[in-house]
Structure 1
Amino acid sequence: MTTATRREVLGLYRRIFRLARTWQAASGQMEDTIKEKQYIINEARTLFQKNKNLTDADLIKQCTEECTARIEIGLHYQIPYPRPIHLPPMALTPLQGRRLQSQEKLRKLSKPVYLKSHDEIS
């Protein structure tokens, strides 16, 4: 990992914890605010701990893009949880036929960047 990449990753880590410190739930309830703050902190720790040994520059770039997207989406919608995608079961049917493997591949390719690591943890 280069020093510029390391600096970027640590900056994202600090940004997440600053965000968690000042987070207010959209409902205005203190219990919701505490739960959401705790979720932000736990999610950040889990993902950063899981990815701390990455050395591939492309994978690190994908993780930082996912992190930035989740921060921006959370700030925009005032919801720290990842926004789910809703696709009907056979919405991505290929033209040649309905094979399960190609369905799964297309579904995986259609997943937004901010949900890449969510399914791995949940």
Structure 2
Amino acid sequence: MTAATRQEVLCLYRSIFRLARKWQAASGQMEDTIEEKQYILKEARTLFQKNKNLTDPELIKQCIVECTARIEIGLHYQIPYPRPIHLPPMGLTARRGRGLQTQEKLRKLSKPVYLKSHDEVS
């Protein structure tokens, strides 16, 4: 990891903790706020620990993009949890009719950037 990339990752990590400190739940309930703050901190620690040994610059860049997207989506929608995607089981069309394997591959490719690591951790 280059020094610039390391600096960018550390800046993101600090910004997540600042965000968690200032977070207010959309419901306005103190219990919800505490729960959401804990979720933000736990999710950040888990994902950063999981990815701390990455050396491939492309994978690191993807993780940075995912982190930035999740921060922006969380701020915009005022929810810390990733937004779910809803695709019907056989809803993606394939060029060749290979059935379920093709559908699974297409579903994996169509997954939004902010959900790339969500299923791996949850």
1:54-96 deviation per Cα after TM superposition (whole angstroms, max 9, x unaligned): 0000000000000000000000000000000011111113143
- What does residue 23 of structure 2 align with? 23
1:106 paired with 2:106, answer yes
Aligned to 2:73: 73
Residue 64 of structure 1 aligns with an amino acid whose one-letter code is I
Extract structure 1 runs of 4+ deviating beyond 2 A: none
Instruction: Note the C-alpha offset of 1:28.
Output: 0.0
Report how far residue 48 of structure 1 moved: 0.2
Q: CA deviation at 1:101?
A: 1.0
Gaps of 5+ in 2: none
Could you tell me which residue of structure 1 aligns to residue 54 of structure 2? Answer: 54
Separation in 2, partners of 1:71, 1:103: 30
* Corresponding residue of 1:7: 7
Identity of aligned residues (%): 84
Deviations 1:26-54 (A, max 9, x none): 00000000000000000000000000000
Structure 1 residue ranges without an equivalent (≥5): none
Amino acid of the residue matched to residue 48 of structure 1? F
Q: TM-score, normalised by structure 1?
A: 0.98
Q: Measure the CA separation in 2 of the matches of 1:41 and 1:96.
A: 44
**Corresponding residue for residue 36 of structure 2:** 36
* Equivalent residues, number: 122
Q: Which amino acid aligns with 1:105?
A: K
**How far is the alpha carbon of 1:98 from its aligned partner?**
4.5
TM-score by length of 2: 0.98
